[in-house]
Amino acid sequence: MQTLTEKEKMLSGEYYFPSNKVLQQDRAKAKAVCQQFNLAPESAKKSALKALQGLFAASPNSWIEPTFYCDYGYNIHMGRNFYANHNVVILDAAPVTFGDDVMLAPGVLISTASHPLDAKKRNKGLETAKPITIGNSVWIGMGAKILDGVTIGDNAVIAAGALVNKDVPANTVVAGVPAVVIRQIENEDTISV
């Protein structure tokens, strides 16, 4: 029976040690690219953005404002027309998948990582990661936090400051800590452009 590497354990949702040398090197590479992007002068922002997008093979028409941070980058998958405003953090120990036309307001935090409830495991430095999936045409408001294992349906709106710890149905607005559905998005909410 083959023993999984810590990276393979991380990607399969098992307990893993983030202190593993390979994972530390992967995070260091991503942080260096993020730092280069975040510190680039305005005149060099487009080339710095291309380097950043190289971490996660960004889709066409994606735009990210500085500052931006991620753990690995290679677990981030973006659809078309992705936009992230200032101070977005994506902790991508597991896949984070964005549909098309997703907008993130300033200060959004998306985290796939979690720590064990068992103190002995936690004190050993173990953690787990569960994927996050965000559908098409989702708007995530300022300062919202999306936790591990969550799926957000198409056209959903996450209110500013919401803490999303469970799945969000399509065509709904959620708000609060923890976030709950406060209303459906109805046809009268849409306009023809």
As annotated, the active-site residues are 115
Exposure string over 64-83, b if 16+ CB within 10 A, otherwise e: bbbebbbbbbbbbbbbebbb
Residues 114, 112: Cα–Cα separation, whole Å: 7
Residues 174, 159: Cα–Cα separation, whole Å: 6
Which of these, 115, 118, 146, 142, lies nearest to 132 by C-alpha position? 146
Packing angle between helix 45-56 and helix 21-39, nearest 10 degrees? 160
Token output for 128? 């787990």
